């Protein structure tokens, strides 16, 4: 079976994403939010809350979670899962930070 080769492309500098904030990019599948934690980890998630579609990029980032601005569900940035007692999941995407540059899989923008 043929496996897809991941091709990384530069999307922005780490400092282009506010600490404990987010930046949104438009991908083929919709808006993707790039979140930056206080420890400069970066995560890429679909910018659509699994509850009622709220913009997660407008939420509050704390440790490795984001609180949705609409009804305060907490979404785990690593897994995309809503924290209990809430249930649901948002898509997550591969992202890397190399030498202060944020890279995503080119397939997201193809």
Q: Do residues 98 and 104 lie in contact, with contact meaning Cβ atoms separated by under 8 Å?
A: no
What is each CA distance from 20 to 1, 64, 77, 89, in whole angstroms? Answer: 40, 10, 12, 21
- Could you give the CA distance from residue 55 to residue 48 in angstroms, rounded to a whole number? 5
Number of residues that bind ligand FES (CB under 6 A): 9
> Among 62, 71, 83, 106, which residue interacts with ligand FES (rule: CB under 6 A)?
71
Closer CB to ligand FES, residue 6 or residue 72?
72
Residues in 19-38 at the binding interface with ligand FES, rule: CB under 6 A: none
- C-alpha neighbours within 13 Å on the C-beta side of residue 69: 11
Token pair of 71 as six digits: 């009804």
> Among 33, 73, 76, 80, which residue interacts with ligand FES (rule: CB under 6 A)?
73
Q: Which stretch binds ligand FES (CB under 6 A): 2-10, 25-33, 70-78, 97-105?
A: 70-78
| Residues at the site binding ligand FES, with contacts judged by CB under 6 A | 49, 51-54, 68, 70-71, 73
């Amino acid at each position: 079976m043929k496996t897809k080769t991941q091709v990384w492309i530069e999307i922005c500098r780490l400092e282009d994403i506010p600490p404990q904030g987010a930046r949104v990019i438009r991908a083929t599948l919709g808006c993707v939010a790039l979140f930056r934690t206080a420890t400069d980890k970066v995560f890429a998630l679909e910018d659509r809350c699994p509850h009622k579609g709220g913009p997660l990029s407008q939420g509050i980032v704390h440790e490795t979670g984001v609180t949705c601005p609409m009804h305060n569900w907490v979404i785990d940035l690593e897994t995309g899962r809503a924290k209990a007692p809430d249930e649901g999941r948002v898509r997550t995407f591969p992202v890397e930070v190399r030498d202060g540059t944020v890279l995503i899989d080119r397939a997201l923008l193809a």
